[in-house]
Copies of this chain bind each other. A is one copy, B any other.
Amino acid sequence: MITPRTLKGFRDFLPEMMLPRENLIEAAMKVYRSYGFSPIDTPSLEYLEILQGKGSDETDKQLYKFEDHGGRQVGLRFDLTVPLARYTAQHVAELPMPFKRYHFGKVWRGENTQAGRYREFTQCDFDTIGTKSIVADIETTLIINDLMERIDLKTKKPFTRFKIRINNRKVLSGLLDKHGIADKTTPILRALDKIGKIGNEAVFKEMIGTASITEQQAAEVLKLTELQGSNESVLESLRRMLDGNVLGEKGVTELSELFQSVSVFGISPDRIVIDVSIARGLDYYTGTIYETFLDDLPSIGSVCSGGRYDNLAGLYTKQELPGVGASLGLDRLLSAMEELGMIEKVSTPIEVFLPYFVETRLADYLKFAAELRNKGIGVELYPEAKKLGQQLKYADKRGYHFAVIIGEDEFQQQKCQVKDLRTGKSVECLQKECINFILLQ
């Protein structure tokens, strides 16, 4: 006999965790679609050459790679961005531009398994490719906001508050430029990205160490990144610090336009925070940067992040493809929701359970269930004519809200008992009326 088990870093999803996952994915899909984004899909396996093209040493090390039956060097995708770049370059002639796509899919990274880190996880990306217009940056912000609000609606206990933190890569680049350390951008970004984890002092030391900049320069960088807030005065301070640097000023102007535009739409201004400390490590962002934090659990990190880039697919095509997008951190958000008690532990997607206990009445039970389904009410019929108590125990375990109980007497009178399994209360009504009763709850 073989011991049933999963690989380290991989996991099974039981129904009670899979249902909220599906709800989140549905919410994201609805929001992305409502802005005109369309779905795409790409293979899980790609030529290794494609995957390693832009990756850092770190992603290369984490790649699941092997030789396939045809002797090709292949790998499992480690994100959805590299496949998007390859896809866009390959199909550019067939794609309408701007190309607005969303992509939900699994990605794999053979990294060290730490708390909450898995070797297989799902990404939910959306991107607008082929336009430099700030309208796409504005929409990206609106989408993140809509998404977080819609997730609220799907749960019993909503997120009370969340913040979308915005930055513009040009601001920092401008500052580094001004101090003559633009060539140190990558190590400085990598250091800054750790502020939340290791604190200012450690980042200060790392910048001096790995980026080889002076203490004074490191202090200037840190001073800049300490600026944050939900009003125009932050922008003024940034302008003063940049002191006429053209690139930096451009960044501030873009940030200002974005901040003002989203503020005119019902996005409460204190939900949008200008925060120059968010750097997102990856050095391919060139404009707006987004991160999203839950006020009640900021420590879990950003649950929806992204940014603007100048050129998505430079490795695969000469055509310049600018774009902007973000990615919902599905697994992280679900962990947060679980920790915040927002997830009901039920293992059924529907509310009504129909016990089958008068053995000779199978056809009648089946007919009754079919009628409910025809009217849009999902219902599970128990498959065996066991004792009612046993069946109700099962219904309770799965988290059903109602049991519609029909015994021989009820069949003869065309009645039923609607039992609310949460309160234990029962109501007798005509079978044809039970739907209204259930819908009213």
Interface residues of A (CB under 8 A from B): 1-8, 10-15, 18-19, 21-22, 29, 33-47, 49-50, 53, 64-70, 72, 74, 86-87, 89-91, 94-98, 100-101, 106, 108, 110, 120, 128, 131, 133, 135-136, 138-139, 142, 146, 261, 264-266, 313, 315-318, 347-350, 353, 356, 362-363, 366-367, 370, 373, 378-384, 394, 397-398
Contacts and interface: CB of A to CB of B under 8 A. Distances in A.
A212 B358 CA distance: 50
B12 A43 contact: yes
Residue from A10, A45, A100, A379 having most chain B Cβ neighbours under 10 A: A45
Contact of A12 (B13, B40, B67, B128): B40
Contacts of A363: 261, 264
B45 A120 contact: yes
Contacts of A19: 38-39
Contact of A4 (B36, B317, B378): B317
Contacts of A38: 15, 18-19, 347-349, 398
8 contacts: A4-B90, A5-B86, A6-B42, A38-B398, A44-B108, A64-B68, A136-B383, A264-B366
Contacts of A397: 96
Contact of A265 (B7, B313, B367): B367
A111 to B, nearest CB: 9
A57 to B, nearest CB: 15
A101 B15 contact: yes
Contact of A383 (B39, B120, B128, B349): B128
A46 B34 CA distance: 37
Contacts of A1: 315-318
A348 B40 CA distance: 11
A139 B40 CA distance: 33
Contacts of A142: 366, 370
Nearest to A11: B43
B41 A348 contact: no
A209 B16 CA distance: 51
